[in-house]
């Protein structure tokens, strides 16, 4: 049964590296709070095709422009929003996140590799060290933007969601 979401400060935005559980946690949190869930990577791929194909055919700058538009639209909604791992690198997105409640989900490389479907994560399959390099480079941005941090490496998602529900309901 959904919790009461009427007086919550929204959106609640999940950030973190690939494989940290943003989509899984976000879906469950949204369900518990009776709110919509928006995954900006899913929005981009739903409107423009597979992200890997966008990168391959049009390059990263084109993908980032599409991502930026999806993020801007998502942040206007009273929702639980999951951002792609690199979305926080955009300066406009960083400014807009100041008005949201931002949750950083962290995870160890070992946990990512253990849970990843390598067919859907070609970066992990083709260059396992890339995840660590990218996560380390983005960590300072994630930490600066986050209001709260949860590590998802070895905890059940349901426990993390329980704690997030309590945190979201705290006065901002």
DSSP 93-106: HHHHHTTSEEEEEE
Is 41 known as a binding-site position?
A: yes
CA distance 4 to 17: 30
Is 95 known as a binding-site position?
A: no
Backbone CA torsion sign across 23, 25, 31, 37: negative
Is 86 known as a binding-site position?
A: no
Is 19 known as a binding-site position?
A: yes
Is 32 known as a binding-site position?
A: no
Helices (H), the chain: 22-33, 40-48, 51-58, 60-74, 91-97, 109-115, 122-126, 128-145, 157-169
Is 121 known as a binding-site position?
A: yes
Helix (H, G, I), strand (E, B) or coil at 33: helix
Largest CA distance in the chain: 46
Is 99 known as a binding-site position?
A: no
Which residues make up each annotated binding site for ATP?
Answer: 19-24, 121, 155
Which residues make up each annotated binding site for substrate?
Answer: 41, 64, 85, 138
Which residues make up each annotated binding site for Mg(2+)?
Answer: 23
Which residues make up each annotated binding site?
Answer: 19-24, 41, 64, 85, 121, 138, 155
């Amino acid at each position: 049964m959904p919790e009461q979401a009427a007086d919550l400060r929204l959106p609640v935005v999940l950030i973190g590296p690939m494989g940290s559980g943003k989509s899984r946690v976000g879906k469950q949190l949204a369900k518990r709070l009776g709110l919509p869930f928006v995954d900006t990577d899913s929005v981009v791929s739903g409107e423009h095709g597979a992200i890997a194909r966008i990168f391959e055919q049009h390059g990263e700058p084109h993908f980032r422009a599409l991502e930026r538009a999806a993020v801007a639209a998502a942040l206007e909604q009273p929702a639980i929003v999951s951002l792609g791992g690199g979305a926080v690198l955009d300066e406009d997105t960083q400014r807009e996140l100041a008005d949201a409640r931002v949750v950083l989900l962290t995870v160890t490389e070992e946990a990512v590799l253990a849970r990843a479907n390598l067919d859907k994560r070609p970066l992990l399959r083709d260059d396992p060290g890339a995840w660590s390099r990218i996560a380390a480079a983005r960590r300072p941005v994630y930490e600066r933007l986050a209001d709260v941090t949860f590590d998802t490496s070895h905890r059940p998602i349901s426990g993390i969601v329980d704690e997030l529900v309590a945190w979201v309901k705290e006065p901002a």
